[in-house]
Amino acid sequence: MGRIALVVGALIAIVYPIPLQLQGYTYYQTVGFLVLINAMLGVGWNVIGGWAGQFDFGPQVFFGVGAYTAALLYVKLGVDAWLGLLGGAAVAVVICAVLTYPLTRLRGHYFAIATVAIWMIAQPIGAAWEYIGGAQGLFIPMKPRSGVVDSALGLQFSGPTKAMGYYYAALVLFVITLALMAMVERSKLGYYFRAIRDDQEGAEGIGIDSRLYKVIARSITAAVFAAAGVLYAFWALSVFPEQVLELNWSTLPIMATVVGGIGRLWGPVLGAVILIPISQIMSTTLGTGPLAGRGIDLIVYGLIIIVIAAFRPTGLLSLPWGRWLRWRRAAPA
C-alpha cells in the first residue's frame, strides 16, 4: 500500500507542472515550489525535533547562513550555485556544531529558548555587517544561460520557464534530502537520536554520548536548512536579512511536521502538501478583495491548524490509514 502511494505521489510530483506550463500558469508552480521547499525543511527539522526530540526554534539561522554563503561565493568569487550549496551546507554545519555544543547542556524549554536567542542575535548581525551587504543585502546577478542544461547547472532559470525550472530544482533537492534522511533514520544515528529523545539517562547508560549526538542531529538539520536557503536565494535573486532570517522559515516547516506526524519520515511531507496550498489559497481568496489587509486569511489558516492539532496531536500520518485502505481485503478473513 505504501509502495503504491509512493509511486502515485512521485508521478504526480513529476507531471504536476506540465499541464500548468502548457496553459501558461506559473503561479501554481510557485506554490509547488514552496510546498517542496517547506517539505524539505520539515524533513530536515524532523531530525533534531522529531527523532532527537530537541525543540529547535532557530534553524532559520542556518537557512540564512546557507543563502549568504552561496551568494557571497557567487558574487565575490564567481562560484556557481551547486558548489555554493555544498559550501553553504558545510559552513552551516561548522557554525551549528560550534554554537550547539554548549547548548546541549540545556534541556527541554531551555534548549528551545536558547535556539531562539541565537536567532535573535543573528538578525542584527545580518542587518549590520557591511561585508554581507548589511540591511540592503546582496543581489545575485543573472549570468547569461544558454539552454536548459546550462540553466540547471547554474540554478538560474528565467523567462516563462522560470517557475517550472525552480519547481524541478526544488523537487531534486527534496528527493535527495528525503533519501538521505531515510538512510539516517535506518542507521545507527537514527537509533541513537530516538534513544536520546525517549530517555537521555538511559541512552547514556548504554554508551551513547548524548551531547555529541544532539550536535550531530542539529548539524544535519542545519545542512538541510542551508541547502534550502541556497535554493531560495537563487530563486529570489537576492539575500537580505529580513527575508532569509524570517521566523516563518522555521514555523511553517515545524507546523507541517507536527500536523503531518512528528518523528515520521513522511510526516512533514504530508503536512507541507496540506498546509502550504491552504495558506496560499487563503491569501489569494480571503487576502484580496474587500477583506484585504485585515489578516482574515491568517486567522482562518491558524484556525485550520488548531483544529488539526486538536483532532490528531500525533499527526495525520498516525491515523490508521493501513486499516482504512485495506478493509476490503481484511473482510473475508
Q: Does 130 bind another protein (CB under 8 A)?
A: no
Helix (H) or strand (E) holding 138: strand 138-139
Stretch in the footprint of another protein (CB under 8 A) among 128-136, 192-200, 228-236, 289-297? 192-200
Q: Does 108 bind another protein (CB under 8 A)?
A: no
**Pairwise CA distance, residues 296 & 24, whole Å:** 30
Of residues 15, 201, 289, 329, which one binds another protein by CB under 8 A? 201
- The one-letter amino acid at 45: W
Helix (H) or strand (E) holding 29: helix 27-45
Q: Does 246 bind another protein (CB under 8 A)?
A: no
Site for another protein in 162-191 (CB under 8 A): 186-188, 191
Of residues 122, 171, 208, 258, which one binds another protein by CB under 8 A? 208
Specify the DSSP class assigned to residue 141. Answer: P
Question: What is the closest distance, in whole angstroms, from the C-beta atom of residue 72 to another protein in the complex?
Answer: 37
Q: Does 202 bind another protein (CB under 8 A)?
A: yes
Question: What is the closest distance, in whole angstroms, from the C-beta atom of residue 267 to another protein in the complex?
Answer: 14
Contact 110, 52 (CB under 8 A): no
From residue 303, alpha-carbon distances to 9, 201, 279, 281, 307 in Å are: 27, 38, 11, 15, 6
**Pairwise CA distance, residues 135 & 243, whole Å:** 10
Of residues 108, 199, 299, 322, which one binds another protein by CB under 8 A? 199
82 versus 101: smaller Cβ distance to another protein: 101
76 versus 107: smaller Cβ distance to another protein: 107
Give φ, ψ of 139 to 5 degrees: -105, 140
**Pairwise CA distance, residues 261 & 257, whole Å:** 6
Of residues 78, 205, 290, 332, which one binds another protein by CB under 8 A? 205
Question: What is the closest distance, in whole angstroms, from the C-beta atom of residue 131 to another protein in the complex?
Answer: 40
Question: What is the closest distance, in whole angstroms, from the C-beta atom of residue 261 to another protein in the complex?
Answer: 13
How long is the chain? 333
Of residues 62, 68, 111, 192, which one binds another protein by CB under 8 A? 192
* 3-state SS, residue 179: helix
Specify the DSSP class assigned to residue 143. Answer: P
Q: Where on the chain is the footprint of another protein (CB under 8 A)?
A: 186-188, 191-192, 194-195, 197-199, 201-210, 263
